[in-house]
Structure 1
Amino acid sequence: MVEEPKSAPDLAEAPVLRRVSAELSIVVPCYKERPNVRPMVERIGAALPGVEWEVIFVDDNSPDGTADEARALGRINPRVRCIKRIGRRGLSTAVIEGALSSSADFVAVMDGDLQHDQTILPAMLAQLRANQADVVIGSRHVDGGSSDGLSSAMRHRISNAGISVAQYFLPMRITDPMSGFFMMPRSRFETIAPRLSGQGFKILLDLILSAPEPQQLRVKEIPCQFHRREAGESKLDALVMIQFASLLLDKGLRGYVPMRFVAFGLVGTLGMIVNLAALWAGESVGLTFVAAEIIATIIAMLFNFQLNNRLTYRTHRLRGPRLIRGLILFMLVCGLGAIANVGIATALFSSGSHNGFAAAAIGAAIGVVWNYAVSSTLVWRTV
């Protein structure tokens, strides 16, 4: 008996999902946040009845399947979109790509860890609809706000220190310039986007400082409860503070010096401290100066390479066999840079045109430029 082939399901009977034009796009940069995807969409939907919204998850190729979860949800919920990035990392660039992919009138930015209070989204949107502000910030530090979700006393101290430093650079008083929760007109975001550094985690601070006339930017803060993380792990580490310092230096230098070079220089400064500490430790245990200096130099080079790989060239991070190859090249590059440094400084001092300090400073500056240029083109291949 031959079985009749089963006919394909009638597509006319299948439910049709229709994507409507969104008034508000909520950009969620994420990495390893799979457990939080569905709860976030549910909570946003509950907070925005009567609003045409969409959420755009921008995932940096999370190994836990965050993008797969967002896409699976997007197949049954047309409000959910996902951008999966390969070979690119970083919160700021993720926000930029997500916001520029939107056609909505307004864009909001929220972290993917459920710590931001989605219930204030309507109040933020109301301010923009009424043209009362250019940027609306969910603030933990105005009356009614709370930062209790920070996981430790150290996190509180780091956050407060960062806020104090950032406020020094801002042209207006903002209680929470380190907030990652804000909303603004998409058109205003696009106007500022070409000026953004795209580095680090503090995209709000970058946006404000990059505005053509930041002193005229109308900023409104709304109280926000910062909740404790429910799932996943925090991405905050010591590198974030170095990136924060690099961002402020970049804006202070008005972008004339590349931010990556600023970060490279900061890493080099830390490397000098490591070198001196290792030299002192070596001499303390009885090593000769020459032996201690050789060991200290190698330790400093290893430190600089690791920190540059994780910070300065975060988006081009070397792994596996490429990491070993890159380390060898970096050691060679820095070795040649050290030789050039000493040679130039010695020549300038011997000629009598510069005193010892000035000669050493010029030699060091040339060495840093050499190390940066060759590292970028040969070790990490970014240009």
Structure 2
Amino acid sequence: MDMRAESAAAAMATELTVVVPTFNERENVPLLVERLDRALAGIAWEVIFVDDDSPDGTADAVRDLARRDPRVRGIERIGRRGLSSATVEGVLASSSPYFAVMDADLQHDDERLPDMLARIKAEHLDIVVGSRHIEGGTLEGLNRQRQAISRLAGKAGRLVIKADLSDPMSGYFLMDRRVFDETVHNLSLQGFKILLDLFASAPRPLRFAEVACRFLPRQHGQSKLDSMAAWEFGMLILDKLIGRYVPVRFVVFAFVGGTGLAVHLVTLYLLSFAGVGFAAAQTVAVIAAMTWNFFLNNLITYRDRRLRGFALVRGLLTFYAICAVGAVANIGVAEIVYSDRGILWLAGIAGAAIGVVWNFAVSNYLTWRRRTG
């Protein structure tokens, strides 16, 4: 490559990639690109929208823009959900030395991006966080209930990070790509707060600064914060607290199994009360418990791999088969332990432990195996 070609390539290279996870944000996509164009004038930038197969056609809107503007790129994920994992995929698809993460809902203060980029370079920082809780920052885009939830979640988040962040729940930050690469393999990818995950997973304390940002009212679409988002946030905290010792997915799977036991006993009692013979009642109770466990696991334990359509039916049948083998293993191990030790409770616990480990391991591989594409 000659000197002129090298100079042209350097001029075309992007300095900043803005990663924007999306779900049902079709109306906001062109508006955000317009705002980035104004805010990042004079900076070589690109934006990568990572869309989780939005039914409103968000990915189509991104492709339409990308045909006219080479700075716009899109990734459409099929069969996968999650803000944190979407963010990671967007960053990995970039080659810029710096990247920023922001929402598509136009609530983040995009005008602060040049200041955040200048500061991370001037002070040789790892990350600059847009904070709503320092002087100059605002929470005008949140109602009182959401503000209270944000403060409570921030306190919970500080259980797993050592950094003195004023706004650990911020979804708006700018980071050095090299530091991200040092951290990415330690991320749990649980929930929707990737910033908290990054701070909790970094192999060393991150050099950071915070800049005051306004959190603006949403213009289009609806907030994605719901009870399931709160559950996922709790899973992130749990993963960072105990994940090094036991997979948090296994903990949730075992919890679901405990609720299934309650379903089993209630079903058995009701059928027996109705005059159904024990053998028949026990059979129905077992099926009811397995069915309950399958659908609850599909809803929460494997939310990121949720089965739908025919895959749901196939998954249910494989789950029945796996649990049947697990029950045999449970009984066999319990019998061995009881014959050897003669302690009833120890035999019961040993059998149950083998059963739940078998069910989790095989279900994780067969029923809810990770899909790509």
Counterpart among 180, 183, 187 of residue 192 in structure 1 = 183
Moved more, 242-251 or 175-184: 242-251
Matches within 5 A, 1:26-175: 26-131=18-123, 133-150=125-142, 153=145, 155-175=146-166
Matched, 1:181 2:172: yes
Is 1:22 aligned with 2:14? yes
Cα distance 1:151–1:355, how it changes in 2: closer, same or farther (>3 A)?
A: farther
Instruction: Please give the secondary structure, in 1, of the residue aligned with 2:215.
Output: coil
Name stretches of at least 5 consecutive residues in structure 2 with no aligned partner. 1-10
Q: Structure 2 CA distance, aligned partners of 1:318 and 1:173?
A: 40
Which one of the candidate residues 287, 298, 314 is aligned to 2:303? 314
Deviations along 1:277-300, one digit per CA (max 9) or x if unpaired, are: 784598589568968876665554
Aligned AA for 1:369? V
1:333 Cα deviation after fit: 2.1
Alpha-carbon distance in structure 1 between the residues aligned to 2:240 and 2:297: 20
- 1:250 corresponding residue in structure 2: 239
Using the alignment, how far apart are the partners of 1:166 and 1:137 within structure 2? Answer: 15
Call closer, same or farther: CA 1:302–1:240 in 2, change over 3 Å. farther
> Is residue 243–residue 263 contact of structure 1 (8 Å, CA) maintained in 2?
no
* TM-score normalized by the length of structure 1: 0.82
Matches of 1:137 and 1:295, distance apart in 2: 54
C-alpha deviations, 1:89-137, integer Å up to 9, x for none? 3222221121122222210001122222212222222220212531111
Cα 1:346–1:147 change in 2 (3 A) is farther
Taking the aligned partners of 2:360 and 2:351, their CA distance within structure 1 comes to 14
Would you say the 8 A contact 1:278–1:292 is kept in 2?
no
| Change in CA separation of 1:171 and 1:104 when aligned onto 2, cut-off 3 Å | same
Task: Give the match's secondary structure for 1:41.
Answer: helix
Counterpart CA distance in 1 for 2:103 and 2:177 is 18
Q: 2:297 matched to 1:305? A: no
Give the Cα separation in 2 of the matches to 1:43 and 1:28: 13
- Counterpart of 2:159 in 1: which secondary structure? helix
Deviation at 1:315, TM superposition (A): 4.0
1:266 aligned residue: 252
In 2, distance between residues paired with 1:44 and 1:198? 27
One-letter code of the match for 2:181?
E
Please give the alpha-carbon distance, in whole angstroms, between the structure 1 residues aligned to 2:275 and 2:240: 44
Q: Distance in 2 between matches of 1:295 and 1:140?
A: 54
Change in 2 beyond 3 A, CA 1:167/1:292: farther
What amino acid sits opposite 1:276 in the alignment?
A
1:375 to partner: Cα distance: 0.9
Distance 1:64 1:371, change over 3 A: same
Per mean C-alpha deviation after superposition, the further-off stretch among 94-103 and 26-35 is 94-103
Contact conserved, 2:22 with 2:51, CA < 8 A, in 1?
yes
Deviations 1:255-279 (A, max 9, x none): 464x4xx224314314424643784
Q: Distance in 1 between matches of 2:212 and 2:263?
A: 45
Cα deviation, 1:178-200, whole Å, max 9, x if unaligned, reads 22111111121122222223343
Structure 1: any 5+ residue segments left out of the alignment? 1-18
User: TM-score if structure 2 supplies the norm length?
Assistant: 0.83
Tell me the secondary structure at the aligned position of residue 34 of structure 1: coil
Q: Is residue 208 of structure 2 the alignment partner of residue 222 of structure 1?
A: no
Q: Is the 8 A contact 1:56 1:98 kept in 2?
A: yes
